[in-house]
Amino acid sequence: MKRICSFLIVLAVVAGTVFAGGAQDTDITLNKDKPLVFWNRQPSDPVSGDIDMEVMNWNDKTYYVGFDAAGGGAVQGKLITDYLATADASIDRNGDGTIGYVLCIGDVGHNDSKARTKGVREALGTWDGSTDPTVHKEGSVVISGKTYKVVELEGKPMTGTDGSTWNANAATDAMGGWATKFNTAIDLVLSNNDGMAMGCLQASNYPVGVPIFGYDANPDAIEAIGAGKLTGTVSQNVDAQATATLQVLRNLLDGYTGKDVYTIGITEPDKYGNKISAPVEYVAETKALLALNSGVNADNWMDYKAGTRDAGISQTDAAAKKIMLTVYNSADNFLSSSYLPALKYYAPLLNLDLLIVQGDGQNEAVCLDRFTNLNNFDAYAINMVKTSSGSDYTYKLKY
């Protein structure tokens, strides 16, 4: 009888230990419940531009951090028309009463590219409401009190021989062809980003003195404005975006919920006094935190020189956490020269350890195949090759 009782006692102790172990296991956060921030590339339909809310509602800790794309397109358009308003008649190089421009399009399936194309076309009157990048109409613009016709001579996506989009080398080739084909009919060169604008300037036959506008305020573009080579660009306040990406993750990891997730340390000081200096707004319908844009030209380019960081962000003593962060293309000029350096600067201040996985800009699998060992990370920050690929990442977080 004693032997049976002893056995039962041992069994009860073992069962209790197993039960306790099971209780401890339930305290482990499953990958599907961890913070997930999509950044720079918003999950969306590449044709309609509709936001993929199924992906954005993956869990209650899923957000998007980027910038006001539509507003940025409008800022670029105004930058151009403001420049033209004070230009003289010599900008019409062949004197035909028409301002002709060529347009470098980044990626027809990217919402930001669409917004920038729309922004400049609306400003110049060439937007016809179509989502087809090849469709446009005749517009008009006022230059020194006189109205000129505006025509888009040609606009096309800059796709590299390897299939990558936003390709600077493709822009160099395109500009060379345009300069030969259209000659003095080209009065303006417009680009969806700085990388392609700088690529245009590399064309050996780039028409001297023709105004050129980019977008991103990359360091080399800012210097080009100072040197009189680039006419203008748009800053999407990359430091605000990078900090917001990290701060949202930090807030979620620290247990904040509701509006605290997208305000603490962003639009309101956190307990360390940190607060992003640039304007940032939250769009509740799409769970998107967006930095606002500003135009950069010869008047203010010094304010945007490389190396300027947000003095509103300082060192914290928050618990260290590990983040896996994917980058759609290691060769992307904006991400490599502006965004990643900002992330690497601010992450240690928030005690976030980043593992950065970089893709090739054309094959989602390059990132997805390395989106592994997910249990080793506390949160994830995703920058996709295709904006329609969000579910490919959330699928891997199921298990």
Final residue in a domain of this structure, among 183, 202, 235: 235
3-state secondary structure 52-117: CHHHHCCCCCEEEEEECHHHHHHHHHHHHHHHHHCCCHHHCCCCCCEEEEEEEECCCCCHHHHHHH
* pLDDT digits 0-9 by tens, 94-144: 999 999 999 999 998 888 899 999 999 999 999 998 867 888 999 999 999
Q: How far is CA 386 from CA 45, 104, 168, 389, in A?
A: 9, 19, 19, 6
Look at 196-210, 228-242, 297-311 and tell me which has the smallest mean pLDDT.
Answer: 297-311
Residue 343 lies in a domain: yes
Residue 13 lies in a domain: no
pLDDT at 12: 41
Is the domain of 79 the same as that of 96?
yes
376 and 295 inside one domain: yes
Whether residues 211 and 247 fall in one domain:
no
Q: Which amino acid does the sequence have at 112?
A: D
- 280-299 average pLDDT score: 96
One domain for residues 164 and 59: no
Q: Is the per-residue pLDDT at 28 higher than 60?
A: yes
Q: What is the pLDDT of residue 77?
A: 97
Is the pLDDT assigned to residue 15 strictly greater than 60?
Answer: no
Does residue 264 sit in the same domain as residue 289? yes
Q: Residue 303 falls within a domain, yes or no?
A: yes
Say if 392 falls within a structural domain.
yes
220 inside domain: yes
- 241, 67 contact by CB (below 8 A): yes
Average pLDDT (340-346) is 97
Report how far residue 290's alpha carbon sits from residue 240's, in angstroms, rounded to the nearest whole number.
9
Q: How many domains does the chain have?
A: 2
Distance CA 36, CA 58 (A): 9
Q: Do residues 230 and 325 both lie within one domain?
A: no
Q: How confident is the model at residue 70, as a pLDDT?
A: 83
Judge whether 26 lies within some domain: no
* CB of 396 closer than 8 Å to CB of 371: yes
Whether the predicted pLDDT of 27 surpasses 70: no
Q: Greatest CA separation found in the chain?
A: 112
Do 98 and 59 fall within a single domain?
A: no
Does 301 share its domain with 390?
yes
Q: Range with the lowest mean pLDDT among 92-101, 109-118, 241-250, 340-349?
A: 109-118
CATH number at residue 255: 3.40.50.2300
Q: What Rg, from alpha-carbon coordinates, does the chain have?
A: 25
Same domain for 250 and 388, yes or no, is yes
pTM to 2 decimals?
0.75
pLDDT at 69: 82
Q: Which domain covers residue 337, as residue numbers? A: 34-66+237-396
Using the 3D structure, point to which of 191, 208, 235 is the last residue of a domain: 235
Same domain, residue pair 59 and 81: no
End-of-domain residue from the set 235, 263, 292: 235
Most confident of the ranges 25-34, 196-205, 296-305: 196-205
